[in-house]
Chains A and B, each alone.
Chain A
Amino acid sequence: MKRYILKRLFLLVPTLIGITLITYMIVRFTPGDYTSLRLDMQMGLKTTAASKEILDQERRLYGLDKPWYVGYMDWLGKFCTLDFGTSRKDGRPVSERIGDALPITLALNLITMLIVYVISIPLGIAASVKKDSLFDRVSSLALFILYSLPTFWIALLLLMFLSSGEYLNLFPLGGITSDTMTGAGFFPLAGDAAWHLVLPVITLTYGSFAFLSRYTRANMLEVINQQYITTARSKGLSEPRVIMVHAFRNSLIPLITLMATLLPGLLGGSVIVESIFSIPGMGMLAFEAILARDIPVIMAIEAISALLTLGGILIADLSYALVDPRIRLETKI
């Protein structure tokens, strides 16, 4: 087991280098760079030799005159010392910008995931136990209807009816804290933040129930038809015990695969939800960085999510062995 983990950790390095290298190349070879984009939109580009010189000067300032592999090596060297560089947009360290956005996204995603798991898994179990019953059909229909509703539309409807004051005035129209809350104590602040998060969380969750509950249901159905379930029943175990202990535990294995997407999923933000609810999270940060060709920011976010994805996959693989002793990791590589 130890050897396996070491091996896997060792393999992380080339994979990570591969991912960041490809990302870097894509970013560098995409048309446009920060300086020229800014120039073009500013209506200041003149064709004299002097202005070309100015343009080149600024590119040199940010190492864009060097070939891409030199640029990548520079970036990699700094990345190894955990230096993400400074953002082109506002001249702040990238780590500071991510530090601003990450807690917000993390909080939002943790709450969302918790709600999605707590609601979807029991729903899935219930649906599998009462397969093809009215409950199964109605719940799956309802979940799929929710799944199909476009986020931006629901988000605007929620704001319009629950926040605008024209119908109801229950929630704020976006943001993450009230202007007046600076200097308030922990509990008022937390309450205020929770109040701001209600609508974004609803928007982020409602569409996610369908997938997880159907997934749980399918896995449960597979297990329920196994002979050991029949055995458990014939031993005279109570039905809840059969379902929760014998069936559900065994249906967890495929759910572990989802774990791999959990970690990077915590970090990613939804651009639509963030822009509608004015939430300065990771989604907007990444989106704006890509549009503006803010290379240090793009690379940092990309590298972190690559790392988390790889970590997530590793954890998922290790958990397989924990949950199911039949899986032997040593032979897997």
Chain B
Amino acid sequence: MQRPGEPDGVTDLSRFGFCVSLLTAFFCACAGGVSSRGADELYAYLSAEPDTLNPVISSDAYSAEINSHIYETLLDMDLDTLGRKPDLAERWEISPDHRRYRFFLKKGVLWSDGVEFTADDVVYSFKVIKDPKTANAHRKVNYLDITEVRKIDRYTVDFIYSKEYYLGLEICGGMTIIPRHLFNDGADINTHRNNRLPLGTGPYRFTEWVTGSRIVLERNERYRDRKPAIRKIVYRIVAEPSVAFLMLKKGELDFMSVRPIQWVRQTGSGKFLRSFNKFQYFTPNYSYIAWNSRRPVFSDARVRRAMSRLINLEAILEKLLFGLGKRVNGTFYFYSKYYNSDISPIEYDPAGAMALLKQAGWADTDGDGFLDRNGRKFSFTFTISSGSKFAERLGTIMKEDFRKAGIDMEINRYEWAVFVQKLNSRDFDAVTLSWSLGYNEDPYDLWHSSQMEAGFNFVGFRDAEADSIMERGRREFDEARRTALFRRLDRIIYREQPYTFMFCSPALVVVSKRFGNVVVHRAGLDTDEWTIAGDR
């Protein structure tokens, strides 16, 4: 779950005059910007410090980014086809009942300290994940249905599922493997020293973590495959994005993702484009407005459909996100085959909305300018997480448009933790959020009626056909049949409009021209294949 994108940027300061007299002469001598930096070093941007670099425990995107260079999994995702390909395992077999996944490990793979990687590491990693003493509840839940990981021989392991599940291969193959010979020393895994000294089998090895400042990786010369051209990756931790952007322009960062306003207004100059390439791609994410169907006002699908017609998404996309985003109609990643592209988006249509509201019994009978039904005014609260400027502006636009339609909307702001609490206790009328999902996400957690009480189905979506589709989908191993099922599910969700689906936001990335072969795959960039194009 994510706060909605923060499409807002730095104030343009250049028009303000500023007088500089201070200490100029004295410090002229000291300043030099980046000194003695090798051509094969990549300076990347990290907007916050990771919690820990133990992939079994860590939970944030920053540690995931860094660990992706250090640790590996049995299988990897192909960045173009989004399918599975061998990584630490060279091949795999699935039993006919889809309960047993057998992986044949590559032989001779070394941890970056020279110790060989074997089946024992896989078994150990699973044991640590499942250990009640490991503080990783967020990761354990993914492995609930795996009962055992069994070592068959030094290079073969079996994962045993308690029930069949179409994402089984992905989950088993995606489990991070940590080195048994380092972690299995009796120390508490949550405070283990190697949580800050990671060691993996991947193309890079960890060299330094200066708290609050930077994390440095160097190429793992023991890596089995083709070694990347970039010898060293330095992640700079910079809390303030506008300062990071200044660093980028000064040449102290080579690679960062920027905000829409920066993309549109601050990265277009000739000078900038001489030094940087801009790349844009879509990851599975979407923003939405969720209507709590437990509330009498939103229990009627016609009302929810009317709400979607009252929100001018085209204008919001233009005004708040500079047109950077794709409108979506459903819950699946729109590049995946499950996404139902036959559905056309709901257009802004106040007249149509009024007709729907009228059908649902809402009309202004007492002439106070607000709709009412059975003597109750149409009024609700829009709950947002304070600090989200996108939600704030969206709320203001919605409030105005709803007012015109005779609907009274209040905006309530809560700190993130409190906001989440409100969501969990289902104590809201409407909220805006965005989901950041997997490429192959199981819709069950979001939409199945069993998840209404405590899961992520906080809007209370319930539909018998949808439930049965999701249950069948989980056990359907035929790609084409599952696709048909999920596309049907998208249709049902669209009809019910538990959400007003908004936008999939692109990743907006700027890369220094010092690097060549920067290919945009469907799932993004891969620094391992970049080349050094020469000095600036």
Binding site for B on A (CB under 8 A): 30-32, 35-48, 50-52, 54-55, 57-58, 61-62, 86, 88-92, 100-101, 153, 156-157, 159-180, 191, 195, 198, 202, 274-280, 284, 291, 293
User: Which residue on A lies nearest to B10, using beta carbons?
Assistant: A156
Listed from nearest, the 9 A-B pairs whose CB atoms lie closest are A280-B212, A32-B417, A31-B421, A275-B239, A91-B191, A42-B138, A47-B455, A58-B137, A47-B454
- The reply to whether A45 and B416 contact each other, CB–CB distance below 8 Å, is no
Is residue B456 within 8 Å, beta carbon to beta carbon, of the partner chain? Answer: yes
CA distance A273 to B455 in the complex (A): 39
Taking the nearest CB of chain A, how far is it from the CB of B3, in angstroms? 9
CA distance A6 to B241 in the complex (A): 51
Q: A residues within 8 A CB of B14?
A: 160
Is residue B214 within 8 Å, beta carbon to beta carbon, of the partner chain? Answer: yes
* A/B interface sample: 5 pairs, CB < 8 A: A51-B137, A54-B141, A90-B51, A170-B27, A177-B213
Q: A residues within 8 A CB of B234?
A: 179
CA distance A176 to B48 in the complex (A): 16
Binary flags per residue of B198-239, CB closer than 8 Å to A gives 1, else 0: 000000000000011110000000000000000000101111
Given contacts A46-B455, A47-B454, contact A168 B20 (CB under 8 A): yes
Given contacts A32-B418, A165-B33, contact A90 B137 (CB under 8 A): no
- The reply to whether A160 and B212 contact each other, CB–CB distance below 8 Å, is no
Q: B residues within 8 A CB of A163?
A: 246, 250
Binding site for A on B (CB under 8 A): 1-2, 10-11, 13-14, 16, 18, 20, 22-24, 27-28, 30-31, 33, 35-36, 49, 51-52, 57, 59, 132-133, 135-142, 144, 190-192, 195-196, 211-214, 234, 236-240, 242-243, 246-247, 249-252, 415-418, 420-421, 423-424, 435-437, 445, 450-451, 453-456
Given contacts A180-B35, A198-B27, contact A35 B135 (CB under 8 A): yes
- The reply to whether A164 and B31 contact each other, CB–CB distance below 8 Å, is no
CA distance A32 to B419 in the complex (A): 9
CA distance A253 to B430 in the complex (A): 57
Taking the nearest CB of chain A, how far is it from the CB of B241, in angstroms? 10
Taking the nearest CB of chain A, how far is it from the CB of B243, in angstroms? 6
A51 contact from B141, B243, B247, Cβ within 8 A: B141
Q: A residues within 8 A CB of B11?
A: 153, 156
Q: A residues within 8 A CB of B211?
A: 100, 280
CA distance A42 to B239 in the complex (A): 21
CA distance A171 to B415 in the complex (A): 35
B239 contact from A39, A41, A156, A278, Cβ within 8 A: A278
A164 contact from B249, B418, B436, Cβ within 8 A: B249
Q: A residues within 8 A CB of B454?
A: 45, 47, 52
- The reply to whether A32 and B421 contact each other, CB–CB distance below 8 Å, is yes
Q: B residues within 8 A CB of A276?
A: 239-240, 243
- The reply to whether B137 and A39 contact each other, CB–CB distance below 8 Å, is yes
Number of A-B contacts (CB under 8 A): 192
User: Which residue on B lies nearest to A61, using beta carbons?
Assistant: B135
CA distance A170 to B24 in the complex (A): 7
Taking the nearest CB of chain A, how far is it from the CB of B254, in angstroms? 14
User: Which residue on B lies nearest to A33, using beta carbons?
Assistant: B417
User: Which residue on A lies nearest to B17, using beta carbons?
Assistant: A161
Q: A residues within 8 A CB of B420?
A: 31-32, 36-37, 40-41
- The reply to whether B31 and A58 contact each other, CB–CB distance below 8 Å, is no
Taking the nearest CB of chain A, how far is it from the CB of B306, in angstroms? 30
Q: B residues within 8 A CB of A172?
A: 31
Q: A residues within 8 A CB of B451?
A: 46-47
- The reply to whether A160 and B13 contact each other, CB–CB distance below 8 Å, is yes
User: Which residue on B lies nearest to A279, using beta carbons?
Assistant: B212
User: Which residue on A lies nearest to B188, using beta carbons?
Assistant: A91
A43 contact from B1, B136, B191, B249, Cβ within 8 A: B1
Given contacts A39-B138, A90-B52, A284-B212, contact A293 B191 (CB under 8 A): no
User: Which residue on A lies nearest to B189, using beta carbons?
Assistant: A91
- The reply to whether A43 and B13 contact each other, CB–CB distance below 8 Å, is no
Given contacts A170-B28, A170-B31, contact A159 B1 (CB under 8 A): no
Q: A residues within 8 A CB of B436?
A: 43
- The reply to whether A278 and B243 contact each other, CB–CB distance below 8 Å, is yes
Taking the nearest CB of chain B, how far is it from the CB of A37, in angstroms? 6
User: Which residue on B lies nearest to A152, using beta carbons?
Assistant: B240
Q: Known contacts A43-B445, A86-B190; can you find 8 more A-B pairs with CB under 8 A?
A: A38-B138, A43-B456, A159-B246, A195-B27, A276-B243, A278-B237, A280-B211, A280-B212
Taking the nearest CB of chain B, how far is it from the CB of A142, in angstroms? 14
CA distance A177 to B456 in the complex (A): 44
- The reply to whether B240 and A278 contact each other, CB–CB distance below 8 Å, is yes
- The reply to whether A44 and B13 contact each other, CB–CB distance below 8 Å, is no
CA distance A153 to B142 in the complex (A): 45
User: Which residue on A lies nearest to B19, using beta carbons?
Assistant: A161
Given contacts A47-B451, A90-B196, contact A41 B59 (CB under 8 A): yes
- The reply to whether A275 and B240 contact each other, CB–CB distance below 8 Å, is yes
Given contacts A45-B456, A278-B238, contact A168 B445 (CB under 8 A): no
- The reply to whether A31 and B417 contact each other, CB–CB distance below 8 Å, is yes
